Structure 1
Amino acid sequence: MTSVSTSVLGRMPDGRPVHVLRIGSEPDVVVEVLDLGATVHRLGAVGGDGVRRDVVLGLPDVAERLAGGGYVGGTIGRYANRIAHGRFPLDGREVQVEVHDRGNSLHGGPDGFDVRLWDVRTHTPDEVVLELVSPDGDQGFPGTVTAVVRYRVAGDVVSVTMEATTDAPTPVNLTNHAYFNLAGEGSGPVDDHVLQVEADLFTPIDGTGLPLGTDHAPVEDTPFDLRRPTRLGEATESAHPQVAAVDGLDHNFVLRGSGLRRAAVLEEPAVRSRLEVWTDQPGLQVYTGNAFDGEKRARGGGRHHRRAGVALEPQLFPDSPNRDAWPSPVLRPGDTYRSVLEWRWGRAAPGTR
């Protein structure tokens, strides 16, 4: 019988160990998950050229992650993306949560789920399940929320199931913040990656990343038209005002359809690697690592420079607690929040562009 593989990456400031939990087995996909942040630390996959690579960005140690590691690989909560000014109405009252990103709340606040030590509920050779209890008032959010994240590897498919319950009404919007570089961490920017997104609309934003009103915009005749495979560099170097505002892509795409369906395809032509992202969420935030400036050390040595990876984050729409016309993020007692994400790995055909 195959045994589980666990090691210690380091320790929290209070002395608690941070574990590396390995699931999957070669020659298929192998994932290393940290109980710190329920984080994807490594993901090894074989490209079309036959070479196995770590295809997600990582951080080298606990200190780097706790110092504000750019959410690399972490589970994001309570609320992924931004809430304007950290304020929103809830059942007739106004709630104020902590702000830290240009006057807004981002990814759950300055002490989000990605820097918490989660409890390991189960760990088998193919699956790890982690749990976090977020108390009432955490970062200003009402209600005690219990979040559970399940990572499972089955051949070349990695599934990430996120669930949450609460004892009082509160907004919940969880996602995973892995940055992908299919040529391997440290191989340079992802400009030559080719991305396709199954969306006819995107969400325009202001200079702080907040949506401009409640209307989405057609992708047609813009750099956001990724309905056909498009080299990322063509989109991120565009002079379009929405691209220039954030020095790349950091936008929500309104996915077609509902239920578990394909949201995006990412390919790296040089190594012939292919990733399909499947989700049951209405939106996909595409972020091209615009803020990486070489300050953060990479897990494999070197530094994370601009566009070292691309994040493909399935989620509800940004600032949804303030937008009644959009899918509601409010979780109520007796209900269960559930989000399903799948990464399906494959090999791109020779000559893919």
Structure 2
Amino acid sequence: MCCRMPLEKPAVWMSEDEFGRFTDSSEVVREVRRFTWENVRNTKVQVINYGATITSIQIPDKNGKIEDIVTGFDTIEEYFSEKNRYYGATIGRVANRTAKGEMNVDGIDYKLAVNNGPNHLHGGLKGFDKVLWNYRVDGTKLILTYHSKDMEEGYPGDLIATVTMQLTPSNQFQIDYKAVVTKTTPVNMTNHTYFNLGGIGSGSVGLYQHEITINADKYTEVDSNATPTGNLIAVSGTTFDLRVPKLLGDVIHKVPNAPGYDHNFCITRPSTSKVVTFVAKALHKPSGRAMEVYSDQPGVQFYTGNFIPESEGKGAKYVKHGAFCLETQIYPDAVHHANFPEVLVYPGQEYRHFTSFNFMVQE
């Protein structure tokens, strides 16, 4: 009798467990599920369906040492706390700032929730980052859905959002966003993961060791409230020229009128069509860990953790300038600027947004 050959290990595999429970506003106890991907490159990614949130990304360095490279927490209660600054969350309906929390759509004035000085930020008081998403698993794809009801946080129309996430054998973590609406409404979703390729425990020292490249020849000028003025400014000759790699420690303190970067960069694209384009690259030379970002979106918000509160998570200390974000998006406050890419989605249309975070090691 012939011996049965052992089954070959798959290139990517998934598991699922309970992350915690909470009592919602209707006094119903809700369970939060956690989904874990692992691949043959020793990469491990974890996501929870509360906020469609990336809670952990663990990858090896050039010596094989594995570190968690994203901020987050070990318990659901910490995600409810004040120390959570959108860590790893899916943002919507509209990422970034909307000036004065006001907009006019189809001739109707709408007042949005104001939660960032005079502005509306990241979907309002209870955006997509603070809700429990429905889910299903299809092979190694996680498909998350959320129904945002008419006038939720002030937005017109019902919206059905679908976010599909997956880890590939080649170390790409891909996020595919879709949405359909019943009334004309702005939609600009993103993911708000904070990265530190030196490991989340390396703090600002680790952040300053990153070389950053952003494929953008312009950025959106902002006013004193960090809201776009409508002007697109050429990066040439400025601190915002990151078209060739710059060491963050050399430039972060030179950003004018700000404690670091918190700006939308206008991605240089081969055409106006929604093709997937190189957006940015981060390289942490001491560890060799690198990440490239590709997306079909016209902009990326580069944020260097200027307002991270001193706190702890996953056994690490989180500090100002302890991690950075690369939030692919339509330009902020686009609803008020005719020269910005279109942010309105109409009934019968489908909002689409694809982003891939590609991880690698460079010697």
Is the CA contact 1:264–1:276 (under 8 Å) kept in the aligned structure 2? Answer: yes
Taking the aligned partners of 1:159 and 1:89, their CA distance within structure 2 comes to 34
Alignment of 1:202 onto 2:219: yes
Give the C-alpha shift of residue 28 in structure 1.
4.2
Taking the aligned partners of 2:197 and 2:180, their CA distance within structure 1 comes to 35
Give the C-alpha shift of residue 186 in structure 1.
1.2
Alignment of 1:10 onto 2:10: no
Decide which moves more: 48-57 or 304-313: 48-57
Q: 1:153 aligns with which of 154, 162, 167?
A: 167
Name segments (4+ residues, structure 1) moved above 3 Å: 1-4
What do residues 120-179 of structure 1 show as CA deviations (whole Å, max 9, x unaligned)? Answer: 12253x221100110001001011100011111112111100110111110000000011
Q: 1:40 aligns with which of 32, 54, 72?
A: 54
- In structure 2, what residue type is equivalent to 1:291? F
Q: 1:262 aligns with which of 250, 269, 278?
A: 278
Is the CA contact 1:288–1:310 (under 8 Å) kept in the aligned structure 2? Answer: yes
Is the CA contact 2:163–2:176 (under 8 Å) kept in the aligned structure 1? Answer: yes
Alignment of 1:132 onto 2:159: no
- In structure 2, what residue type is equivalent to 1:303? K
What do residues 15-61 of structure 1 show as CA deviations (whole Å, max 9, x unaligned)? Answer: 21111111232434321110001011111222223222211111232
Taking the aligned partners of 2:197 and 2:108, their CA distance within structure 1 comes to 46
Q: 2:195 aligns with which of 148, 156, 180?
A: 180
Is the CA contact 2:70–2:195 (under 8 Å) kept in the aligned structure 1? Answer: yes
Taking the aligned partners of 1:72 and 1:248, their CA distance within structure 2 comes to 18
Q: 1:282 aligns with which of 293, 298, 306?
A: 298
Could you state the TM-score of these two structures normalised by the residue count of structure 1?
A: 0.93
Alignment of 1:219 onto 2:235: yes
Decide which moves more: 339-348 or 41-50: 41-50
Is the CA contact 1:4–1:123 (under 8 Å) kept in the aligned structure 2? Answer: no
Alignment of 1:27 onto 2:41: yes
Alignment of 1:253 onto 2:265: yes
Is the CA contact 1:142–1:170 (under 8 Å) kept in the aligned structure 2? Answer: yes
Structure with greater strand share of residues: 2
2:251 paired residue number? 235
Is the CA contact 2:101–2:118 (under 8 Å) kept in the aligned structure 1? Answer: yes
1:96 paired residue number? 111
Unaligned runs of 5+ in 1: none
What do residues 58-103 of structure 1 show as CA deviations (whole Å, max 9, x unaligned)? Answer: 1232222123411000000000000001111111121111111001
What do residues 104-128 of structure 1 show as CA deviations (whole Å, max 9, x unaligned)? Answer: 000000111011100012253x221
Give the C-alpha shift of residue 264 in structure 1.
0.3
1:62 paired residue number? 76
Could you state the TM-score of these two structures normalised by the residue count of structure 2?
A: 0.91
Taking the aligned partners of 1:208 and 1:67, their CA distance within structure 2 comes to 25
Alignment of 1:292 onto 2:302: no
The structure that has the greater radius of gyration is: 2
Taking the aligned partners of 2:99 and 2:326, their CA distance within structure 1 comes to 22
SS at match of 2:320: coil
- In structure 2, what residue type is equivalent to 1:288? T
- In structure 2, what residue type is equivalent to 1:284? V
1:108 paired residue number? 123
What do residues 286-330 of structure 1 show as CA deviations (whole Å, max 9, x unaligned)? Answer: 000000121x331x2143101111000000001001111111111
Equivalent pairs counted in the alignment come to 341
Is the CA contact 2:39–2:168 (under 8 Å) kept in the aligned structure 1? Answer: no
Unaligned runs of 5+ in 2: 1-6
Is the CA contact 2:188–2:329 (under 8 Å) kept in the aligned structure 1? Answer: yes
Give the C-alpha shift of residue 229 in structure 1.
0.5
Give the C-alpha shift of residue 235 in structure 1.
2.0
Taking the aligned partners of 2:132 and 2:38, their CA distance within structure 1 comes to 22
Taking the aligned partners of 1:4 and 1:196, their CA distance within structure 2 comes to 32
Taking the aligned partners of 2:160 and 2:247, their CA distance within structure 1 comes to 40
Is the CA contact 1:265–1:276 (under 8 Å) kept in the aligned structure 2? Answer: yes
2:321 paired residue number? 307
Taking the aligned partners of 1:99 and 1:235, their CA distance within structure 2 comes to 32
Give the C-alpha shift of residue 267 in structure 1.
0.4
Alignment of 1:141 onto 2:155: yes
Taking the aligned partners of 1:92 and 1:71, their CA distance within structure 2 comes to 32
